[in-house]
Amino acid sequence: MTTTATLYGKISPKLAEALQAIKLLVCDIDGVFSDGRIYLGNHGEELKAFHTKDGFGVKALIASGVNVAVITGRQSSIVQNRMQALNVTDIIQGQEDKLPALTTLAQQYQLQAQQIAYIGDDIPDLACINYAGVGVAVQDAHPIICQQADYITTINGGFGAVREICDIIMQVQNTLHKASGASI
């Protein structure tokens, strides 16, 4: 069996073929775009850290023709603002059961499951990992998620894992060379 070389290592031909069909990348937030920690201030303010590498990857993937959406269990204006800055239009928050939101997105964009990649890190993402044509776990995801994923990133959540899957999708779809712009 021949493998396909990516910037992050080799993947199977089956995974490369599946990634060529991706039209929508759906991401969890906490533990995927962030490192999973939530900082709470004395006055109730909440802070999250986002990596600029992920931001560039999302913007480049969208520019290449693959849509990006987020589904998260928490509600946060920080997430809303960050995703809007990245030109993500589907920002679905407050979803403890994420699968109905994912299937709604599939219907909205008239996509089959095989055209969707989902990246997550914990048990609430399991149904979406199993539904998507390509289920992705971040390197430091819960072991059950890693067991079910089609691909495990080489990078931990919050430190460029989203960028990794964006780069691999673009590399397999032969659009990575078009990536340009500024990190945000």
Give tens-digit pLDDT for 33-46.
Answer: 999 998 888 988 88
Break the chain into its structural domains and give their ranges: 7-178
Q: State the pLDDT at residue 8.
A: 97
Q: Tell me: the pLDDT tens digits for 43-58?
A: 888 888 999 999 999 9
Residue type, 44: G
pLDDT at 114 over 70: yes
Give the CATH fold of the 7-178 domain.
Rossmann fold (3.40.50)
Quick check: 1 pLDDT over 70? no
| H or E stretch covering 5 | strand 4-6
The reported pTM is: 0.96
Neighbours of 102 (CB within 10 A): 24
- How many residues are recorded in the chain? 184
